[in-house]
């Protein structure tokens, strides 16, 4: 069996690494081809992740780099088509909801190659989010849909997708977290940065709705105020860094640092007193680790992290950051249970379904 995996961004690597490992273990004689679109290309956004996750070097690097959505997606499709023609895979596997996912699904489906979508069925119901468009297209055209939470079933049924295509397998991002737990717990990055475990806030922000417009300066102001109450550590995504160039972000207690490798990031996440984010994956990781998470968005495609986890939706409203210290003080310490099947074995279930299907 020939399986081709398409990845392109930081979270893609995290979600796909355990799937590649599980399928390689079950199909040692199969051909496993990894294609990296190059959507993320900085060493800290790409290579470091692949190395830490133990993903073999990609067989094909498409090197598309950054660009507008249309330019990036078109370049990926153009470069992927000859690779798919040459490799002639039996199945293409794509994770998540980024532009690399969209390009891979469209290219493969038009060539008649079946696609499996990992992390299927998430919906924010906000079509202004580029990821929402990517999710809908990926689910519409993938033959095998791998779901990580119950609400995905209703979302997919509402779009007329048949139950036979859906497979509830759990969360492969949590597989990676579980596999790395010994290593990131030993990394002690908080000490290296001079902050006390449990007493600092970790911040990540990169979504266009927040960082590409007037909300960014307001957010930085609110972070400076928060930093007067608790140290704030903010590894800055390159997109956000670019937008912050003209801002004064020099405030006591607010540390802006380079993006981190995954082990270092998970170490800081696991030791944080609170996390403020607009990321999807981080809402899930904090839920698994039991760390309070505040999401600076109006909606989430991951409502299970609110209903069963540690996530609070603040809204797309920087002023809401001011409420974090009192929300932390009023929070009960009852341990939360991760959602069902977020147990470190999702990729094995995916591999079982693929083998049974082939
Ligand atoms: C992309 C995904 C988003 C995901 C995020 C994870 C889409 C539509 N968006 O957002 O869903 O949550 O990745 O990080 O696919 N840049 C660099 N170096 C890099 C990568 C990006 O400098 O290695 C800069 C460039 O200025 C680029 C900008 O970041 O234009 C945005 O990159 P892009 O891949 O378009 O989107 P992200 O914001 O990273």
Q: What is the pLDDT of residues 45-83, one digit of tens each?
A: 999 999 999 999 999 999 999 999 999 999 999 999 999
User: Among 67, 98, 102, which residue has the most ligand 1 atoms within 8 Å of its CB, making it the best to mutate?
Assistant: 98
Whole-number Å distance, alpha carbon 237 to ligand 1 midpoint, is: 8
What average pLDDT does range 273-284 have in this prediction? 97
Question: Considering the entire predicted model, what is its pTM?
Answer: 0.96
Confidence of residue 160 (pLDDT cuts 50, 70, 90): very high
Whole-number Å distance, alpha carbon 239 to ligand 1 midpoint, is: 6
| Closest-CA residue to 131 (of 49, 16, 39, 64) | 39
What per-residue confidence (pLDDT) applies to 279?
97
Protein residue closest via CA to atom 2 of ligand 1: 98
Whole-number Å distance, alpha carbon 40 to ligand 1 midpoint, is: 6
Confidence of residue 333 (pLDDT cuts 50, 70, 90): low
What average pLDDT does range 202-221 have in this prediction? 96
What per-residue confidence (pLDDT) applies to 358?
84
What per-residue confidence (pLDDT) applies to 337?
85
Of 139-153, 165-179, 206-220, 332-346, the least confident: 332-346
Tell the burial category of 197 from Cβ atoms under 10 Å away from its Cβ (0-12, 13-18, 19+): middle
More confident residue, 326 or 337: 326
Angle value at C-alpha 108, between 31 and 143, nearest 5 degrees: 85
What per-residue confidence (pLDDT) applies to 223?
97
What per-residue confidence (pLDDT) applies to 336?
74
Percent of the chain whose pLDDT exceeds 90: 96
Mean pLDDT for all residues in the chain: 96
Q: Tokens 């990131």: give the residue.
A: 184
Interhelix angle 99-110/130-141, rounded to 10 degrees, is: 30
Confidence of residue 335 (pLDDT cuts 50, 70, 90): low
What average pLDDT does range 336-351 have in this prediction? 95
- How far is residue 80's CA from residue 290's CA, in Å, rounded to a whole number? 40
What average pLDDT does range 197-204 have in this prediction? 98
């Amino acid at each position: 069996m020939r399986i081709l995996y398409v990845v392109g961004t930081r979270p893609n690597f995290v979600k796909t690494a355990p799937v590649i490992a599980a399928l390689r273990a079950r199909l040692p004689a199969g051909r496993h081809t990894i294609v990296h679109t190059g959507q993320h290309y900085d060493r800290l956004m790409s290579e470091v992740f692949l190395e830490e996750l133990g993903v073999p070097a990609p067989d094909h690097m498409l090197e598309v780099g950054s660009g507008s959505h249309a330019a990036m997606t078109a370049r990926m499709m153009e470069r992927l088509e000859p690779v798919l023609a040459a490799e002639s895979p039996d199945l293409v596997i794509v994770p998540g909801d980024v532009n690399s996912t969209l390009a891979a699904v469209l290219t493969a489906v038009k060539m008649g190659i079946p696609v499996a979508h990992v992390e299927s069925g998430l919906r924010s119901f906000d079509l202004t989010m580029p990821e929402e468009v990517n999710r809908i297209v990926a689910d519409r055209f993938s033959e095998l849909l791998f779901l990580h939470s119950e609400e995905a079933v209703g979302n997919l049924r509402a779009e007329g997708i048949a139950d036979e295509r859906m497979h509830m397998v759990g969360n492969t991002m949590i597989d990676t977290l579980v596999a790395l737990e010994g290593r990131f717990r030993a990394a002690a990055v908080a000490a290296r940065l001079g902050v006390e475990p449990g007493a600092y806030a970790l911040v990540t922000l990169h979504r266009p709705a927040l960082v590409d417009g007037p909300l960014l300066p307001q957010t930085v102001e609110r972070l400076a105020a928060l930093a007067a109450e608790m140290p704030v550590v903010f590894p800055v995504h390159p997109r956000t860094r670019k937008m912050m160039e003209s801002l004064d972000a020099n405030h006591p207690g607010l540390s802006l640092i380079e993006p981190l490798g995954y082990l270092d990031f998970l170490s800081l996440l696991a030791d944080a007193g609170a996390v403020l984010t607009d990321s999807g994956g981080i809402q899930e990781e904090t839920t698994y680790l039991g760390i309070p998470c505040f999401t600076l968005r109006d909606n989430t495609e991951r409502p299970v992290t609110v209903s069963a986890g540690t996530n609070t939706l603040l809204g797309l409203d920087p002023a809401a950051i001011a409420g974090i210290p009192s929300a932390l003080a009023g929070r009960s310490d009852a341990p939360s249970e991760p959602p069902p099947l977020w147990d470190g074995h999702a990729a094995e279930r995916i591999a079982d379904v693929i083998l049974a299907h082939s």
